[in-house]
Amino acid sequence: MLRQPAVAGYFYQGSPSRLRDQVEHFLVSGGPTIRALGILSPHAGLVYSGAVAGAVYSHIELPDTVVLIGPNHTGLGAPVSLMAAGQWMTPFGTLSIDEPLAGAVLARCRRVQDDMIAHLREHSLEVQLPFIQYKKDDVRIVPIQMMDTRLDTCIELGDAVAGAIRERGTDVLIVASSDMSHYISAEEAKRKDRMAIDRILALDARGLYATVRDEDISMCGYGPAVAMLIACKALGATKAELVKYATSGDVSGDFDQVVGYAGVVIY
Query: What value does the mean pLDDT of the chain take?
Result: 98
What percent of the chain is modeled with pLDDT above 70? 100
Q: Could you tell me if 125 and 77 are in contact, meaning their C-beta atoms sit under 8 angstroms apart?
A: no
pLDDT at 158 over 90: yes
Work out the average pLDDT over 77-97: 98
92: CB partners within 8 A, 6+ apart = 16, 19, 20, 129, 130, 133, 134, 137
Cα separation of 208 and 148, whole Å?
Answer: 16
Domain count, the chain: 1
Work out the average pLDDT over 176-192: 98
Q: Where are the alpha helices (DSSP H) in the chain?
A: 16-26, 46-58, 99-108, 129-135, 151-168, 186-201, 205-214, 222-234, 249-252
Give 30's pLDDT tier (boundaries 50, 70, 90). confident
- Write out the residue range of the structural domain in which residue 111 sits: 2-266
184: CB partners within 8 A, 6+ apart = 192, 218, 257, 258
The pLDDT tens digits of the residues spanning 189-203 come to 999 999 999 999 999
Q: How far is CA 5 from CA 75, 173, 190, 222, 232, in A?
A: 18, 22, 32, 24, 29
pLDDT of residue 91: 98
Give 31's pLDDT tier (boundaries 50, 70, 90). confident
Give 235's pLDDT tier (boundaries 50, 70, 90). very high
Work out the average pLDDT over 194-219: 98
CATH number of the domain encompassing residue 186: 3.40.830.10
pLDDT at 121 over 90: yes
SS3 label, residue 258: strand
Q: Could you tell me if 181 and 189 are in contact, meaning their C-beta atoms sit under 8 angstroms apart?
A: yes
Candidates 104, 142, 184, 137; CA nearest to 19 is 137
Cα separation of 115 and 61, whole Å?
Answer: 30
Cα separation of 212 and 223, whole Å?
Answer: 10
Cα separation of 19 and 34, whole Å?
Answer: 25
The pTM (predicted TM-score) of the whole model is 0.98
Cα separation of 83 and 154, whole Å?
Answer: 18
